[in-house]
Structure 1
Amino acid sequence: MEEIILERISCALKENKKAALITVVDSKGSSPGKAGFMMAVFEDKSTVGTVGGGELEREVIQRALKSISGGKDEFASFKLSDEGNLHMQCGGSIDVFIKVFGKKDRLLIAGGGHVAKSLYEIAKYFDFNIVIFEDREEFANSDRFPNCEIILGDIGENLKKYPIDERSYVVIVTRGHSFDEAALKASLNRGAAYVGMIGSSKKTNYIKERLLSEGFSKDELEKAYAPIGLCLGGDSSFDIALSIFSEIMLIKNNGKLKHMREI
């Protein structure tokens, strides 16, 4: 059961959904839940596992939902008697630890080349969940991109199937026009906080015109940051990655394109 619980939490995190892991750390007397019992509670109120069932479990679930809403871990104690908070007759007590897993900002990088590698190096210091989409294993592996999710195969199709939400930032830096176009098509109108595509104005305008002819609206296409990045100068892969990440942080933090001395 523990493996199932952890797998369900892992799936929820992949979909960027909130969850809580509840572990019974101590129990005394006739408590229905014993030390080591585990359950998961999700923001949609679904659960898996048990901490003993009955009124105790209903109360623990409500406490976990409050912890999820507040975004904080919590120790909680429950007395299972008339004078306790549950008004039960068991006569025991139970202590649980509620570990909350919240939504995180996710950086979805289509492509695994030099710019993608530099962008990964920058973003990992800002606690983003990073996902690499590539169709070449030599450019997308755990040696090149340690401690992040790597999805190999058709970039456009995999992006299309991947969950995207308001805390997703999509950067398209593949090795060619057709791959960029497929990734852009898969990312538009999905609710992402940011979608950016690398390339010259000529190239990005060409792709936008193609997508217009396929039925994408002008408003949808204007939401994409293409060409991508801020004009920071420099032409190395790290310079380009820094200009991209700076644009992402500008959007994320509702910043202003001003020198601090001008504010």
Structure 2
Amino acid sequence: MERFDRSPEVALEWYRAGKGATLATVVQTWGSAPRRVGAQLAISGDGEIEGSVSGGCVEGAVIVEALEALEEGASRMLEFGVSDEDAFAVGLACGGTIRVLVEPIGSVMSEALLTELVAARAARDPVAYEVNVETGSRRLVREGHQQRMRMDRSGFEEGSALFVAVHNPPLRLIVVGAVHIAQALVPMARIAGYDPVLIDPREVFGSSDRFPGEEIRLDWPDEAVAALGLDARTALVLLTHDPKLDDPALESALRADVFYIGALGSGRTHAKRVERLTAAGFSAQEIARIHGPVGLDIGAAGPAEIAVSILAEMTAVLRGKAE
């Protein structure tokens, strides 16, 4: 999936409301395609839609096919290709081609299976949806596909008819310290697909005027982090320079399975941080999980460039490219 959309959830709502529903999923792409493999579109029996498989250029055709598949009670594999001459006009640039699997709910994908998928997504439980397009077998799996899960990469297993759709929880960024760097980092992270949350008990910093439209928690960081929960799809970035605010959240992160921990400060500041954490009983191996000073060394100057370095380092760690 690209962003965490609500196509499965909405499809289940429509099905339970008696409208009928199908899920259309991009299963393969060639050339330049506007949506990644795994992107989904839900279509109700009334022609309502949620999500997208192509950014709009083939949605109309998919809807027609989906309504016919719903009436027949059978899945369909669709393929859309556009020549180089007219590709750009409809959004499939450079002769892009996509294959879309259409699955009616109830007759093809069971209500029980879709319910299980929706429950896993609500619980932030990473799962993979497997469908064999030749045999029609379908199931959810919670083990295996480690590389696909880490890279958020849906697709066919090489040389087989087994399609694997990755359903990871949305990436989440928790920022402690509503400072100038956060003003640049939060919108950048949102563009990159994160759901950001700001924590700062200082109301003068954590104000909606400084962060319009963002989720801000005016709580002490340890309390806010405990309420939010920490998991393997969460990054924590500490920006306050104040041990009273940073350290409680940092200690919570070191006890959790977050994929990234970054802390602002010079090498000297980080050395003092290490001393405090060592005295608190954390091992050298645990403390080594902290990226401090935070961010890749790109010679950043100013809050915006520091934010770029932080987001770049988060991406490198998430995708297994960090040194």
Report TM bin, short chain.
Answer: 0.5 to 0.7
1:222 to 288, 292, 297: 288
Query: Would you say how many aligned residue pairs link Structure 1 and Structure 2?
Result: 189
Change (3 A) 1:23 1:178: closer
TM-score normalised by the chain length of structure 2: 0.51
Distance across 2 between alignment mates of 1:237 and 1:182: 24
Contact 1:169–1:193 under 8 Å retained in 2:
yes
C-alpha deviation, 1:35, in angstroms = 4.7
For 1:151, the equivalent position in structure 2 comes to 217
> Do the aligned residues in 1 keep the contact of 2:313 with 2:322 (CA within 8 Å)?
no
Can you list the C-alpha shifts for 1:14-53, whole angstroms capped at 9, x where unaligned? xxxxx8352246xxxxxx96459xxxxxxxxxxxxxxxxx
Are 1:196 and 1:224, in contact at CA under 8 Å, matched by a contact in 2? Answer: yes
Q: 1:61 offset after TM fit, Å?
A: 1.9
1:102 Cα deviation (Å)? 5.3
> Does structure 2 conserve the Cα–Cα contact (< 8 Å) formed by 1:232 and 1:243?
yes
The root-mean-square deviation of aligned C-alpha atoms, in Å, is 3.2
> If the length of structure 1 is used for normalisation, what is the TM-score?
0.62
Counterpart secondary structure, 2:307? helix
Q: Partner of 1:261 in structure 2?
A: none
1:20, 1:101 within 8 Å by CA — same for their partners in 2?
Answer: no
Match of 1:141 in 2: 207
Q: Which stretch shows the higher mean deviation, 229-238 or 146-155?
A: 146-155
Report the 3-state secondary structure (helix = DSSP H, G, I; strand = E; otherwise coil) of the residue aligned with 1:174: coil
Q: Considering only CA atoms, is the larger Rg found in Structure 1 or Structure 2?
A: 1
1:168 to 224, 229, 234: 234
SS at match of 1:180: helix
| Larger CA deviation: 204-213 vs 59-68 | 59-68
Is 1:20 aligned to 2:9, yes or no? yes
Given the alignment of the two structures, is residue 253 of structure 1 paired with residue 319 of structure 2, yes or no? yes
Unaligned runs of 5+ in 2: 21-105, 122-127, 132-165
Structure 1 stretch 101-110 or stretch 196-205: which is displaced more?
101-110
Q: Deviations over 1:125-163 (max 9, x none)?
A: 112111111112232233433443221111232223421
- 1:127 maps onto 2:186 in alignment: no
From 233, 255, 264, the equivalent of 1:198 is 264
- Which residue identity is paired with 2:13? T
Aligned pair partner of 2:305 in 215, 235, 239? 239
Tell me the distance in 2 between the aligned counterparts of 1:207 and 1:234. 22
Residues 176 and 221 of structure 2 are in contact (CA less than 8 Å); yes or no, is this contact kept in structure 1?
yes
Which residue, out of 129, 153, 167, partners 1:70?
129
Q: 1:63 to 1:116 in 2, by over 3 A?
A: closer
Distance 1:121 1:168 in 2: 16
Identical positions, percent: 27
C-alpha distance in 2, partners of 1:242/1:156? 26
Checking the alignment, whether the CA contact within 8 Å between 1:108 and 1:170 is kept in structure 2 is yes
Q: SS of the counterpart of 2:9?
A: strand
Equivalent AA in structure 1 for residue 225 of structure 2: L
Give the equivalent residue in structure 1 for 2:162: none
- 1:228 CA drift (Å): 0.9
